[in-house]
Amino acid sequence: MKHTYYSILFAISLIFATSCQEQQKKMADLDPPIAKKVAKELTMHGDTRTDNYYWLNQREDQEVLDYLSAENDYYKGMTAHTEDFKKDLYEEMRGRIKEDDSSVPYKRRGYYYSTRYEEGYEYPIYGRFKDSLTAKEDIMFNCNELAKGHEFFNLRGINISPDNSMAAFAVDTISRRQYHIQIKNLKTGEIYPDKVDNTTGSSVWADDNKTLFYTKKDPVTLRSSHIYKHVLGTPADQDELIFHEADDTFSTYVYKTKSEKFIVIGSYSTLSSEFQILEASNPNGKFKIFSPRERELEYSIAHHGNDFYILTNKDGATNFKLMKTPDDNTNKDQWEDFITHREDVLLQDIDTFKDYYVLSERENGLNKIKIVRWDGADSYYIPFDNETYVALTSTNPEFDTEFLRFRYSAMTNPTSVIDFNMRTKEKEIKKEQEILGGKFDKANYRSERVWATARDGAEVAISLVYHKDTDPKAGGPLLQYAYGSYGSTVDPYFSSVRLSLLDRGFIFAVAHVRGSQYLGRPWYEDGKLLKKINTFTDFIDCSKFLIKSGYTSAAHLYASGGSAGGLLMGAIVNMAPELYNGVIASVPFVDVVTTMLDDSIPLTTGEYDEWGNPNDETYYQYMKSYSPYDNVEAKTYPNLYVTTGLHDSQVQYWEPAKWVAKLREYKTGDNLLFLDTNMDAGHGGASGRFESLKEYAKEYAFLLDLEGISQ
């Protein structure tokens, strides 16, 4: 029988697995940190839960910091034998990145805007060119200079004034997503003393070039709750409060329509939305309610000509439809159908241009882009011929143009930025992501989409990618990934980092479980609230399908997910630990009941429509039935690598810390359990394009080490 290199590699890995186990026995001399137990009784609806690790939620307590540091030291000690491999993986991943890279410039109000990186530097440089790309570059922000002296740095929300002379921008140096906004004069380079703290980072200029609207956060819950108006040159403490979102299940934001005629304040919860509008030429005017909020009525708005186009679920349009109303008469009673609801097509977005509108749709799990002339003279879909691709509209700020810019990638194809002529139907690839290192050839990889039957009969899609020399039915190593919440869909995108697994014989699989919108809005509705369990059982049933079909085996199946996907990881290791050899849970949301009962924790109240409100006993009992922390018990868990960030604002660090402490108390067997806390970062991990690769290198070294692969 003829064996490929990767088949041989897999066979050798089985031999190495034995020596790896012996090595792990030697490492057993390192004792894991054992968190002290301080019983905390939590009673609700007559039910008492005892939380022995509740004390870990004191971020400033030195004993807490010492425990996290001890866990970090244990992780480092137990993985010391992989240090060189981690470095090699990091260099390998970094070696694929074009370091002196730049984005495809886009044009707005006479300037071409671009983002570029210089070789050896972590952060982007934001620049622009007046009238032509051959003009001298005007550097607006060199983040490498601005980041000096900071362990973490993130600049976002660059917003150019209508006269092109100023840029509002926002910076976070803590990784808590609390940004301060400042204003830079792009002609002189001066940064004005105006400074607004504790914002979301985004802002909007009025037409007068001196009035700026922005969103502030609640300092405790971090909910986006207040819209303020700042006038250039005045102290921030004199800024006028324009709107307070009093309902703590809603958040708010502000933006300008693409037509630039209106400034819009949006309020949203999981199930409802509401907008207020004000002409941008009248910054001292009063915002007008577009249409009052109603429970379970969702809508978003786009402006064109003298009309608004409303993407909405009104009248039972589960997969959304498009409606139209005059911009001077916007109450929902005036809305008229423009594109009717379709049971089999999810309508996701609309982009407006002078002569065309562009619809972003999803049908049978696949992205579709439809071009339509306003006058009805032409209507067509951009053709795509793959089942594991991603096609999404990109930055399109220009109104009077016949070009649509979109991004295309597939699990085997690097991302391309494409300009598509909506009139001639010709396309120009402006840029395809370069994969350096001399080893990458897209022809070396294969992708496919398969369908697993869930226990209730639902068909769940799985997108797969692997090296052409890997036998997909040899039962080898496979990493299964999913998210499955908030209707967020993980599309089958390309990843240069992932090549480090594929080139070593791994298959990578995305399970499109319920809780996403992969198969439309009902797919999301069937994986939330009192149906959340479907997300977990879908993932498990996909795992069973992959094992039964020969793509992998329980000895070589791995799982990964982050945040709400980390909740998924916590649930599956409680429900079906025997299916997985190793699991990576990144910033995992695992203490569901306690968190959702604490409305002082950031984001809790806005989550009720996703998870349910445990102040209601029905939701309390349902959450408790799957909450990973509450369901830890004495059993053999898979090898686990758990990550968190001390400053995480989305999932507080103590959730994974408590979970690991409890797992240490209860788990049986000798499988690995690591908690790796980034003491300088938050939910998104390390800042900088290279530092984040070190986190991937840690994760991949964990997986590969379990397979006995060390180079």
As annotated, the active-site residues are 563, 648, 683
Please, how many CA atoms are within 13 Å of residue 455, restricted to the half-sphere of its CB?
A: 11
Burial label for 682, CB within 10 Å (0-12, 13-18, 19+), is buried
The secondary structure of 286-330 as a DSSP string is --EEEE---TT--EEEEEETTEEEEEE-GGG-TT-EEEEEETT--
Element (H, E) at 25: helix 5-27
Place of tokens 């956060």: 217
Give me 686's structure tokens: 């390390």
What is d(CA 394, CA 687) in angstroms, rounded to the nearest whole number?
23
Angle at 122 between CA 133 and CA 152, to 5 degrees: 125
> In 605-708, which residue ranges form alpha helices assigned H by DSSP?
608-611, 617-626, 654-666, 691-706
- Edge to edge, what strands does the sheet with 413-421 contain? 389-393, 403-410, 413-421, 427-432
In 3D space, the residue among 685, 693, 641 whose CA is nearest the CA of residue 663 turns out to be 641
Place of tokens 């009035």: 211
Contact 605, 248 (CB under 8 A): yes
Give me 303's structure tokens: 């402006």
The secondary structure of 95-114 as a DSSP string is HTS-SS-BPPPEEETTEEEE
SS3 string, 416-471, reads EEEEEECCCCCEEEEEECCCCCCCCCHHHEEEEEEEEECCCCCEEEEEEEEECCCC
What is d(CA 368, CA 381) in angstroms, rounded to the nearest whole number?
7
